[in-house]
Amino acid sequence: MPVLRLSADSSSEEILPFAKMVHELVSLPVTMRSRNKKGVRLEKGKVMDMDYTGPVLEEVLRRNCVIHTIPDKGAYKGVPVVVAPLQDEEGKTIAAVGVVDVVCTIDLASVFGNYPQIVRQVEERKEFLKPKG
């Protein structure tokens, strides 16, 4: 029986099935790497890079937290992204996976005008995620 196992040492070939699943689920560019090896970048249903890393992926691996930001360098320079850690059972980050953050790029009021509760919920979440200081 096939098994998908991810570790801090997973190669790009080993993380590719997981990254493809996320990419197909959200239909957005996806990047992913393990803690100790470079990973993958997928766009428009295609693997663009099998030796990929990016500044936000690396920051998530260092900080072990979700980061919403607009990178100032790399393949997604100037594009809002959200990157999350994948943690082991002890809470240590073994990998990071990121997507383009389309929620930051749309006018929620116009898209969800008939659903004010959704607009409120997303706006509250965005406010909660803003860096303090």
Domain map of the chain by residue range?
Answer: 12-100, 105-133
Mean pLDDT of 46-71: 96
Nearest one of 35, 34, 43 to 14, comparing CA atoms: 34
Higher-confidence residue of 17 and 1: namely 17
Section 68-92 average pLDDT: 93
Judged against a pLDDT cut of 90, whether residue 95 lies above it is answered with: yes
3-29, pLDDT tens digit by residue? 778 999 999 999 999 999 999 999 999
Mean pLDDT of 123-133: 61
Percent helix, strand, coil in the chain (nearest 5)?
35, 25, 40
> Based on the number of CB atoms within 10 Å of its own CB, is 40 exposed (0-12), middle (13-18) or buried (19 or more)?
buried
The span from the CA of 38 to the CA of 120, in Å, is 38
Alpha-helix residue ranges (DSSP H) falling in 2-130: 12-26, 55-63, 108-111, 116-129
- What is the average pLDDT across 56-77? 94
User: How high is the pLDDT of residue 65?
Assistant: 96
pLDDT at 108 over 60: no
Domain 12-100 belongs to what topology? Beta-Lactamase (3.30.450)
CB within 8 A of 13, min separation 6: which ones? 50
pLDDT value for 36: 98
- The predicted structure's pLDDT at residue 28: 92
> What pLDDT is attached to residue 123?
72
Give the whole-number percent of the chain exceeding pLDDT 90.
68
Phi, psi of 11 (to 5 degrees): -85, 170
Per-residue pLDDT, 114: 62
Residues in the chain: 133
